[in-house]
Amino acid sequence: MNTAANSPESTQRVVLETSAQTGLFQIVSFRIGAEEFGLEILKVQEIIRVQDLTRVPNLPDFVEGVINLRGKVIPVIGLRRWFGLEQQSYDKNTRIIVVEVSGSVLGFIVDSVSEVLRIPSDTVEPPPRIGKVERDYIAGVGRLDDRLLLLLNLDRLMTSSEVLQCEPAEA
C-alpha cells in the first residue's frame, strides 16, 4: 500500500486537482448543530426527507437504522452521533444525504441541507493541525463571506471496516 497516497498532503493535492479544471468546488452544504459542513456534489447521490427507519439489532451505535430506497436497503448513519454530539429529535428540516463510501451506498442524517455552493479553490485552505487527530476526514476549510465551511472527505470519514459494520448481515 502506498502510504504517501494516504498522507494529508496527498489528500489536499487530490482536492486541488479536482478543482483545478474549473477553479471552483461544487459543494452541498449542510448543518449539524451550529456547524456547517460540505460534501463534493459529485459524491452525493440524492437528498431525501427523513423517513421511518428500521432498527437492526447488533449494528454499531452510530447506525440509526436502514431504509428502503427504491428497493435497495441502505444503512443510515446519524452524523450527530458519529461526531459525538447530543441527539435531537428530527424536524421538518432534517434530511438524509445519500452517498457512496468505499463502494457502499449509505445515508447520513443531518440537521438540515442548506444549499449548493460554488466555492473558488483559492478560498479553501488545508484543515488546521491541532493536536493528534484520529482521522483526517476534514479535507479543507472553505472561507465564505462571514462563515467557515468544513469540507468532509468521505473516503476518510469512515474506514472500510466501519462501512462494512453498517451493512446488515445477509441471509
CATH number for the domain including 158?
2.40.50.180
Q: Assign 170 a pLDDT band (cuts: 50, 70, 90).
A: low
Q: 5 CB contacts (<8 Å, ≥6 apart)?
A: none
Q: What is the pLDDT of residue 132?
A: 53
Q: 20 CB contacts (<8 Å, ≥6 apart)?
A: 121
Distance CA 108, CA 16 (A): 25
**What is the per-residue pLDDT across 103-156, written as a single tens digit (0 to 9) for each?**
889 999 999 999 999 988 888 888 877 665 545 788 888 988 888 998 988 877
Q: What is the mean pLDDT of residues 41-65?
A: 90
3 pLDDT above the threshold of 70? no
Q: What is the mean pLDDT of residues 75-99?
A: 90
Residues present in the chain in total: 171
Range of 79's domain?
3-166
Overall domain count for the chain: 1
Average model confidence (pLDDT) across the chain: 80
- In-domain check, residue 171: no
- In-domain check, residue 133: yes
63 pLDDT above the threshold of 60? yes
- In-domain check, residue 162: yes
Task: Provide the 8-state DSSP code for 145.
Answer: S
Q: What is the pLDDT of residue 25?
A: 86
**What is the per-residue pLDDT across 20-37, written as a single tens digit (0 to 9) for each?**
567 888 999 999 988 999
Cell numbers for 148, please give them: 467557515
Instruction: Show the CA angle centred on residue 91, arms to residues 90 and 96, nearest 5°.
Output: 65
**Greater pLDDT, 161 or 12:** 161
Question: What are the backbone angles phi and psi of residue 34, rounded to the nearest 5°?
Answer: -85, -10
- In-domain check, residue 135: yes
Q: 4 CB contacts (<8 Å, ≥6 apart)?
A: 10
- pTM exceeds 0.85: no
